[in-house]
């Protein structure tokens, strides 16, 4: 089938997409957007997190047909032009990136959190990010980065 949706603000279509392909696969292998990662393909790790109609989802479990006509935003689309999103800047500043494989999914999930919740508590952050597994960092710097980005976001709404 042909599937068409908006990705990072641009209309994209893909032809000969099989119904069983996941949104993650379509983004990575057909649309040249390999930023979102496949680490478990079961929705158990969050590495494939993208925004679907503004809401974070595990794209590995979204069948291609379900994405038809909708708005998708990936890690590649978090930046506004040349300017990184607050969460991206904060991750680099705080040293929250190690191997980087969980990073794209975390950025999307954390970006959504600080957009929705003005000053999330540490417990809020931990719970919101509980679906994003990281094996490297021990999470501490990720938490620091989210706090920093949230504070900056709250100061610049």
Partner 1 sequence: MTVRRGAVGAPAPRVEGLAKVTGSAAYAYDRPVADPVYACPVQATIARGRVVAIDGGAAAGVEGVLAVVTHREAARLADTADAELAVLQSDAVAFRGQFVGVVLAETPEAARQAAGLVRVEYDEEPHDTELRADRAGLYTPEQVNGGFAPDTDEGDVDAAMEAAAVTVDRIYTTPMLFNNPMEPHTSVAVWGDGGDEGGGGPGEARLTLYDSTQGAHVVRSTLARVFGLPPERVRVISPYVGGGFGSKGMPHAHNVLAGLAAMAVPGRPVKLALTRQQMFSLAGHRTPTIQRVRLGAGADGRLTAVAHEVVEHTSALKEFAEQTAVGARMMYAAPNRRTAHRLAALDVPVPSWMRAPGEAPGFFGLEVAMDELAQACGLDPVELRARNEPEVDPESGRPWSGRHLVRCLREGAARFGWEERAAVPGTRRAGRELVGLGVAASTYPYYRFPGSRAVVGYDGSGRYTVRIGAADIGTGAWTVLTQIAADALECPLGAVRVEIGDSELPPATVAGGSSGTASWGSAIVAACHAFRGAYGTEPPPGAEAGADMPRDPDAERFAMHSFGAQFAEVRVDADTGEIRVPRMLGVFSAGRIVNPRTARSQFIGGMTMGLSMALHERGVLDHRTGHVVNHDFAEYHIATHADVVDVDAVWLEEEDAHAGPLGARGIGEIGIVGAPAAIANAVHNATGVRVRDLPITPDLLLR
Partner 2 sequence: MTPFEYLRAGDPGEAVAAVAGRPGAAFLGGGTNLVDHMKLGVAGPDLLVDVSRLPLDRVEETAGGLRVGAAVRNSDLAAHPLVRERYPVLARALLSGASGQLRNVATTAGNLLQRTRCPYFQDVTTPCNKRVPGSGCSAIGGYTRYHAILGASEHCVATHPSDMAVAMAALDAVVVVLGPGGERRLPIGELYRLPGDAPQRDTVLEHGDLITAVELPHLPAARRSAYRKVRDRASFSFALVSVAAVLDLDGDAVRDVRLALGGVAHKPWRAARAEEALRGGPATEDAFRRAADAELAGARPLPGNEFKVAMTRGVVVAALRDLAEEGR
Binding stretches for partner 2 (CB under 8 A): 1, 18-20, 22, 41-43, 46, 49, 52, 55-58, 61-63, 65-66, 68, 109, 126-128, 130-132
When binding is defined by CB under 8 A, the residue of 41, 65, 70, 71 that contacts partner 1 is 41
Q: Please answer whether residues 46 and 56 qualify as being in contact, where contact means their C-beta atoms are separated by less than 8 angstroms.
A: no
Which of the ranges 14-22, 51-59, 65-73, 149-157 carries the binding residues for partner 1, by CB under 8 A? 14-22
Helix (H, G, I), strand (E, B) or coil at 96: coil
Length of the chain: 157
Least Å from the CB of residue 151 to partner 1: 18
Answer with the entry of partner 2, partner 1, none that 154 interacts with (C-beta below 5 to 8 A by kind). none
Nearer to partner 2, 1 or 136 (CB): 1
Q: Give the span between the Cα atoms of 6 and 104, in whole angstroms.
A: 19
| Stretch near partner 1 under the rule CB under 8 A, chosen from 20-28, 51-59, 112-120, 148-156 | 20-28
What does the block give as tokens for 79?
A: 């930046």
By CB under 8 A, which span of 65-73, 84-92, 112-120, 149-157 interacts with partner 1? 84-92
DSSP 3-state of 100 = coil
Cβ-Cβ contacts under 8 Å for 141 (sequence gap 6 or more): 94, 95, 96
Q: How far is the CB of 16 from partner 2 (least distance, A)?
A: 13
* CA–CA dist 140, 138 (Å, integer): 6
What's the rounded Cα separation, in Å, for the pair 56 and 44?
A: 14
Residue 131 is classified by DSSP as: T
- By CB under 8 A, name the binding residues for partner 1: 18, 20-21, 25, 28-29, 32-42, 44-45, 47, 74-76, 79, 84, 88, 91-93, 95, 97-104, 107, 125-127, 129-143
């Amino acid at each position: 089938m042909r599937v068409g949706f908006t990705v990072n603000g641009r209309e994209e279509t893909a032809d000969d997409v099989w119904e069983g392909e996941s949104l993650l696969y379509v983004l990575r292998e057909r649309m040249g957007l390999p930023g979102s990662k496949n680490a478990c393909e079961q929705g158990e790790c969050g590495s494939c997190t993208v925004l679907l109609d503004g809401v974070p989802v595990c794209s590995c479990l979204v069948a291609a047909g379900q994405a038809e006509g909708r708005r998708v935003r990936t890690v590649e689309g978090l930046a506004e032009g040349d300017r990184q999103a607050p969460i991206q800047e904060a991750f680099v500043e705080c040293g929250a990136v190690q191997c980087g494989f969980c990073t794209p999914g975390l950025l999307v999930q954390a970006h959504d959190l600080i957009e929705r919740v003005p000053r999330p508590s540490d417990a809020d952050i931990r719970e919101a990010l509980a679906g994003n597994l990281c094996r490297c960092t021990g999470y501490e710097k990720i938490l620091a980065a989210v706090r920093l980005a949230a504070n900056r976001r709250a100061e610049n709404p």
